[in-house]
Amino acid sequence: MGTLPKCHLIGHMSEIDQSRRFSPASLLRIIAASAVGALLPFLAWGVAFVSEKTGLAHMICPTGGLECVVPMALIAVVGGSAVSWLLLLLARVRPAGGVTLLGFVVNLVLQTIVYQVVPGGPTVSLLVAGCAIGFGTAALIVRPGGRRFGSRPHS
């Protein structure tokens, strides 16, 4: 009987298991991503304040009714994603796109839980903490140098 061929997936998984997830560099990535996440609510409030004072909000939605929620939310998510991606790039958090996308998803889940649990909705401190936790968790999960879609592990 011959030996079985080496499974690339098992070899790749052993490399992942041996790496240190909490190295000083990864902790700095998590702290930087958390800081970017904590900054986003303040940035959103600043943009909302400026758009209200300049009349831009009235141009986007002249009626001020419920039909304005979707365009304003879409502008907030797209703008927040672009800004957080750029800030993560400047903070040298890689991959910035993956951390941004997962950070928004984790933040959405956390804020939904907060809305269900906290009577009267979240406070400013809960909103900022939720954003920081969401982006920090995303930086912990999304690792730099991971496999790209369609790439094969090295033998």
Query: For residue range 48-79, what is the model confidence (pLDDT) as tens digits?
Result: 898 889 988 888 888 877 778 888 888 888 99
Structure confidence at residue 128 (pLDDT): 96
Residue 136 confidence (pLDDT): 96
Mean pLDDT of 83-108: 95
54, 55, 59, 60: CA torsion to nearest 10: 70
Name the residue with higher pLDDT: 34 or 7: 34
Phi-psi map region of 61: left, alpha, beta (phi>0 left; psi -120 to 50 alpha): beta
Q: Indicate the pLDDT class of residue 29, thresholds 50, 70 and 90.
A: very high
Residue 121 has pLDDT above 90, yes or no: no
Q: Is 41 helix (H, G, I), strand (E, B) or coil?
A: helix
- Between 4 and 71, the more confident residue is 71
Q: Give the tokens for residue 9.
A: 């997936």
pTM, whole model, 2 decimals?
0.77
